[in-house]
Every structure is written in structure tokens, then in C-alpha cells.
């Protein structure tokens, strides 16, 4: 039986992916801070699962937490990192910027690092990280959020280069969702907000194909194309 860990399984996209993987027969490791939500999810799953409290903003403890979970499961085939935070922060409140960097940059990198080392030891595996379409351009409303996601997409490309050079059988999938109907989708005037189950279904299809980079949902692929090409002066008008 295949085994996967989802960090950030307590709500939103991570929770929806957990349900799909369980229906596909995966044994799951479920990690996040809100363990009561993980327990609720566990009771809804068809397959065996393990729960672990992990706060990725505290890196020494989260690295140990993920390593312990991997050991408890006697190794895993796939690690999916959906944990992330973000704030609409036009006033540049430092605590919000710092929290976003702590979680999305330091926190997620610590989990990537631990996951990749496990797959190097094991000889194979698949890492999946949920970044965002936001990675493509800067945002005046949420500058740290977009910048942290840009960091992640660049970091994952670097990890893919490392793996290729070392000739390892490890795949790294960077999923870049557009707006999805979860607690994370904040702000006014949001458009094309997609149902979480639809997004999770498309994410699973990309995971199965071991895509390097994928935009979900499909219509957000069109927005991504436009975002990549428009000049900065048009971004000002979108703020
Ligand atoms: N929704 C969107 O429109 C959208 C668009 C593009 C990308 N994304 C990305 O998708 C990912 C999942 O977000 P979502 O939309 O599903 O929102 P969500 O329901 O708010 O989920 C966020 C997840 O991150 C976890 N998390 C936050 N801080 C954490 C920490 N310090 N340690 C461990 N886990 C932490 C949360 O778990 P606990 O609070 O229980 O720890 C929760 O499971 C995020 O990386 C987000 O940036 C979302």
C-alpha cells in the first residue's frame, strides 16, 4: 500500500487532498497544529492514518516532528506540503510580514529539506508543494505572500536541478493554484474562486502525472499566462 504525508491536512486544500488519497487506498500521515481537526478528518477516512502536531514556524521541532512521523509510518512514498499563511497587509505591518516569511519560507523549506533527505535515503519518492499563482508577480496588497511563494517556486526548481545532477528517482511537483474557496482566500472583489474539491481533484491528477509545475484550476492557467506577460504598469491598475 502506498503511503503519503500531508503537512497542512487540517483544512482547505490539504484536507480535500487527504480524502482523495484515502479513497485511492493511501495510508496517510496527517500533520498540522489543529490536531482536533486532524482527528475529525481521520474519522472520515477509509484507510489507516497517523496524526502529528507540527508547527512549521518552529523549525527545529517541526523537522523532528516530520522525521518522527516518517519513522512511525516506516517510510513514505510521497510528502505533500500545503501549509501556508498570508495576510492582506497594505500597511506593511511587520508582524504579519514576518509571520508569512516564517511559515512560507523558513517553515516550508525545513519540511522540503527533511522530505528530500528521506527520499534520498529511500532511493525514490515524490514531493509536492502547494505554492500559488501569486508567485508570478508582486502584490501591493499582500507583498510578503507573493514574494514567499516566488521564493518557493525558485527553491523547488533548484531542488529539481540537484536531484537531476544526482540522478535520483525523485519527482518534485510545484502546484500553483489560483483562488480556491478556503479560509485562505481573503480580500474583496475575488473572482474565479474555485470549489476546493474541484481544485483538489485537479491537483491529484497533476500529482499522478508527476508534473514539475502545474496551475489549477485550468482557467487559472490562463490567468497565469497573462500574469507572466503583462507589463508592471498594468499591475498597478489591478491593485
Ligand atoms: N485558497 C487559495 O485561494 C489559495 C490559492 C493559492 C495557493 N494557496 C495555498 O494553498 C495552501 C493551503 O491553503 P488553503 O487554501 O487550503 O487554506 P487553509 O484552509 O487556511 O489551510 C492552510 C493550512 O496551513 C496550515 N498551517 C498554517 N500555518 C501553519 C503552521 N505554522 N504549521 C503547520 N501548518 C500550518 C493550516 O493548519 P493549522 O492551522 O491547523 O496548523 C492549514 O492546514 C497554502 O499554502 C496557500 O498559500 C491557496
On average, the pLDDT of the chain sits at: 96
From 69, 84, 155, the mutation candidate for ligand 1 (largest count of ligand atoms within 8 A of CB) is: 84
Q: For residues 104 and 56, what is the distance between their CA atoms, to the nearest angstrom?
A: 9
Q: Check pocket membership of 132 for ligand 1, CB cut-off 6 A.
A: yes
| Distance from Cα 149 to the centre of ligand 1, integer Å | 12
Q: What is the pLDDT, as a whole number, of residue 75?
A: 98
Q: Check pocket membership of 20 for ligand 1, CB cut-off 6 A.
A: no
List phi, psi (to 5°) of 207.
-60, -45
Q: What is the pLDDT, as a whole number, of residue 186?
A: 62
Instruction: Read off the CATH number of the domain in which 225 is found.
Output: 3.40.50.720
Q: How far is CA 64 from the centre of its chain?
A: 19
Mean per-residue pLDDT, 2-13: 98
From 12, 105, 151, the mutation candidate for ligand 1 (largest count of ligand atoms within 8 A of CB) is: 12
Q: What is the pLDDT, as a whole number, of residue 125?
A: 98
Q: What is the pLDDT, as a whole number, of residue 224?
A: 95
Using the atom order of ligand 1, give the atom closest to the CA of residue 34: 40
Angle of helix 143-165 relative to helix 94-101, nearest 10 degrees, comes to: 20
Model pLDDT for residues 168-217, shown as the tens digit of each residue: 999 999 999 999 999 998 666 788 899 999 999 999 999 999 999 999 99
The answer for residues whose C-beta is within 8 angstroms of residue 52's C-beta and 6 or more apart is 29, 30, 31, 65, 66, 68, 69, 72
Share of the chain above pLDDT 90, in %: 93
Mean per-residue pLDDT, 14-27: 98
DSSP, collapsed to helix, strand or coil, labels residue 33 as coil
Backbone CA torsion sign across 81, 127, 160, 171: negative
Return the CA Rg of the chain. Answer: 17
Domain with 217, as residue range(s), is 3-238
Task: Enter the pTM of the model.
Answer: 0.98
Q: Is a pLDDT exceeding 70 seen at residue 31?
A: yes
Q: What is the pLDDT, as a whole number, of residue 188?
A: 66
Q: What is the pLDDT, as a whole number, of residue 10?
A: 98
Model pLDDT for residues 103-150, shown as the tens digit of each residue: 999 999 999 999 999 999 999 999 999 999 999 999 999 999 999 999
Backbone CA torsion sign across 8, 74, 45, 201: positive
Q: Check pocket membership of 82 for ligand 1, CB cut-off 6 A.
A: yes
DSSP, collapsed to helix, strand or coil, labels residue 30 as strand
Q: Check pocket membership of 40 for ligand 1, CB cut-off 6 A.
A: no
Domain count for the chain, please give it: 1
Amino acid at each position: 500500500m502506498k503511503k503519503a504525508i500531508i503537512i497542512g491536512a487540517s483544512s482547505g486544500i490539504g484536507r480535500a487532498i487527504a480524502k482523495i488519497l484515502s479513497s485511492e487506498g493511501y495510508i496517510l500521515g496527517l500533520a498540522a497544529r489543529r490536531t482536533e481537526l486532524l482527528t475529525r478528518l481521520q474519522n472520515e477516512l477509509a484507510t489507516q492514518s497517523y496524526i502529528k502536531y507540527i508547527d512549521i514556524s518552529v523549525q527545529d521541532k517541526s523537522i523532528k516532528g516530520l522525521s518522527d512521523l516518517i519513522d512511525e509510518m516506516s517510510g513514505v512514498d510521497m510528502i505533500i506540503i500545503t501549509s501556508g499563511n498570508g495576510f492582506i497587509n497594505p500597511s506593511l505591518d511587520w508582524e504579519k510580514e514576518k509571520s508569512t516569511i516564517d511559515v512560507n519560507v523558513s517553515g516550508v523549506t525545513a519540511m522540503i529539506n527533511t522530505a528530500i533527505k528521506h527520499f534520498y535515503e529511500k532511493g525514490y519518492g515524490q514531493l509536492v508543494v502547494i505554492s500559488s499563482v501569486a508567485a508570478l508577480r508582486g502584490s501591493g496588497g499582500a507583498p510578503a505572500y507573493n514574494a514567499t511563494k516566488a521564493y518557493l517556486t525558485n527553491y523547488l526548481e533548484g531542488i529539481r536541478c540537484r536531484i537531476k545532477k544526482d540522478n535520483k528517482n525523485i519527482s518534485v511537483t510545484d502546484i500553483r493554484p489560483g483562488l480556491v474557496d478556503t479560509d485562505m482566500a481573503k480580500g474583496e472583489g475575488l473572482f474565479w474562486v474555485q470549489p476546493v474539491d474541484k481544485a483538489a481533484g485537479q491537483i491529484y491528477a497533476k500529482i499522478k502525472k508527476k508534473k514539475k509545475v502545474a496551475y489549477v484550476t485550468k482557467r487559472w492557467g490562463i490567468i497565469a499566462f497573462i500574469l507572466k506577460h503583462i507589463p508592471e504598469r498594468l499591475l498597478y491598475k489591478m491593485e
